[in-house]
Amino acid sequence: ALSNEFGRLAQGNIHGVKSTDTMDFIYKKDVPKNKKVTYATFVCDYRPLKSEPWRVRCVVGGDRLPYPDDTSSPAATILDTKLMINSVISDSSKGAKFLSADLKDFFLGSLMKNAEYMRIHFDVFPPDIIEKYNLKDKVAEDGFIYIKIKKGMYGLKQAAILAYKQLVAHLKPYGYEPIPFSLSLWRHSTRRTKFCLCVDDFGVKYFTKDDADHLLNSL
Supply the pTM of this predicted model: 0.81
- Tens-place pLDDT, residues 152-182: 998 998 888 888 888 899 999 999 999 888 7
CA distances from 44 to 36, 53, 86, 124, 197 (A): 26, 10, 34, 14, 25
Kindly indicate the confidence band of residue 54, based on its pLDDT and cuts at 50, 70 and 90.
Answer: confident
Summarize pLDDT for 69-103 with one digit per residue, the tens.
766 666 555 566 666 566 655 545 678 888 888 88
pLDDT score of 2: 92
Residue-wise pLDDT tens digits, 139-150: 999 999 999 999
CA distance 219 to 214: 9
pLDDT for position 210? 97
Beta pairing class for 194-198 and 37-38 = unpaired
Q: What percent of the chain has pLDDT over 90?
A: 55
Closest by CA to 152, choosing from 138, 137, 162, 143, is 162
